[in-house]
Amino acid sequence: MNAIHAFDADVQTANLWIKSINARLAIDDPHVARRALRAVLHTLRDRIGPQNAAHLAAQLPLIVRGVFFEGWRPEMQTLERHRAAFMDRVVANFGAGPKPLPDLAVLAVLHTLWNHIDPGEAAKIKRLLPEEIAVLWPSGPDAVDFAAPHHAQRG
């Protein structure tokens, strides 16, 4: 019976990420938030290359890491240089069903990442992206994760 509860903490952590995305999107739909997380993580993963993707994945909670690696083909790195192409990729990764505007989804997921991964890793990922995309990474006092007030504000 204990084995059934072995992943409870991992589920709780993943749900905190979903709550954070919901709050940033101003919605109450965990399915849309999960799909936003998946779409943005896949787009980011495919943009930063296999080695950097592996380093980022090491920062992610177990269940989020599974979402990150779902369907991954390391040889399929993309090189979107412009924000519009990056957003088009997010929309394509979203799939069918209701979705927020891609800019809002990207901002929500990047804010959640920024609030939960090592600041050094976040800065490294930001440096890997073209300026048009890197400007979407949060910084300063507005980057507080309102869904998880126990996290310290970075700035």
Of the chain, the percentage scoring pLDDT greater than 90 comes to 71
The pLDDT score that the predictor gives to residue 7 is: 87
At residue 19 the predicted structure's pLDDT band, cuts being 50, 70 and 90, is: very high
The pLDDT score that the predictor gives to residue 30 is: 95
The pLDDT score that the predictor gives to residue 13 is: 94
The pLDDT score that the predictor gives to residue 55 is: 95
Q: Which domains, from first to last, does the chain contain?
A: 29-70+78-143 (1.10.490.110)
The pLDDT score that the predictor gives to residue 155 is: 36
DSSP at 26: T
d(CA 90, CA 116): 21
> What does the pLDDT look like over 80-109, one tens digit per residue?
789 999 999 999 999 888 889 999 999 999
The pLDDT score that the predictor gives to residue 39 is: 97
Instruction: Give this prediction's pTM.
Output: 0.85
Q: Is the pLDDT of residue 53 over 70?
A: yes
Exposed e or buried b per residue across 99-114, where buried means at least 16 C-beta atoms within 10 angstroms of its C-beta: bbebeebbbbbbbbbb
The pLDDT score that the predictor gives to residue 140 is: 52
